[in-house]
Amino acid sequence: MTQTDTATAVKPDVRDQILTNPSAVLEDTELMAALIAADDGLRGGNVIDLRGLAIARLEDRLARLETTHQTVISAAYDNVSTTSQVHRAILAMIAPLQLEAFLDCLGSDVADILRAASIRILVEGRMPMEHPVLVPVGTGDITRYIDSWRSGRPVPVALRRVPEKMPRLHDESRGPVASEALFRLELGDTAPPALLAIGSADADQYLPGHATDLLTLFGRCCERTLRGLIG
């Protein structure tokens, strides 16, 4: 096919657009792939196009890099968002000057900020007061509740899906709790053992592989605030 024949095979308006803006063709990956494929067909099946193979590999590598880039950006955004969320929850939690107001705040404002379905404080033995956030449990129940899933090994912090056979200690008025974050509270030598339990309706919100630094920060602030209010 001569150059004249090729030119007449392309519609004049399409040809004019290509000649006017050839860079648009080069930037269109699907169009370039079609042109390369057509070129391969003209050469026959016995000719190996190393350039085409290299381009295909580079395109695949670029696609993987773009996916990784988006994943890193998404993870960084989630980390910043979660950090800001915890900081706001801490500021709300430390504002009340009375124990009842503190517990009210935990069950409402703080739960809303953390998007938690439930926030509970489990207390063994005598409780400082009656309140929906405070859950009385028997002696040794806290250790069994937080440690049993790790063969009895003591752990200060635990993230996990809520075990089916464990006692239902969360407030499920907002819906079922599927995962939970647990933090041991050290409230002083004379205070009973206590445990902060944050529940989520999302089964993947709190998992063992997740970082616990922000939960530890929140738990320590809760612990120190409680010490001051009941001390």
Q: Give pLDDT tens digits for 8-45.
A: 567 888 888 888 887 777 777 777 777 777 666 555 55
Q: Is the pLDDT of residue 85 over 90?
A: no
* pLDDT, greater one: 155 or 50: 155
The answer to whether the predicted template modeling score (pTM) of the entire model surpasses 0.75 is no
State the average pLDDT over residues 77-102: 78
Chain segment 175-229, per-residue pLDDT in tens: 889 999 999 998 888 888 899 999 999 999 998 888 888 888 889 999 999 888 8
**Residue 122: which residues within 8 A CB-CB, separation 6 or more?**
135, 137, 141, 142, 145, 169, 194, 195, 197
Measured between alpha carbons, how far is 27 from 56 in angstroms, rounded to an integer?
A: 15
pLDDT value of position 179: 93
Per-residue model confidence (pLDDT) at position 3: 47
Q: Which of 65, 39, 64, 66 lies closest to 51, judged by CA?
A: 39
Residue 93 has φ and ψ, to the nearest 5°, of -70, -35
Domain boundaries, the chain: 3-47, 97-230
Fold topology of 97-230: Beta-Lactamase (3.30.450)
Average confidence score pLDDT of the chain? 80
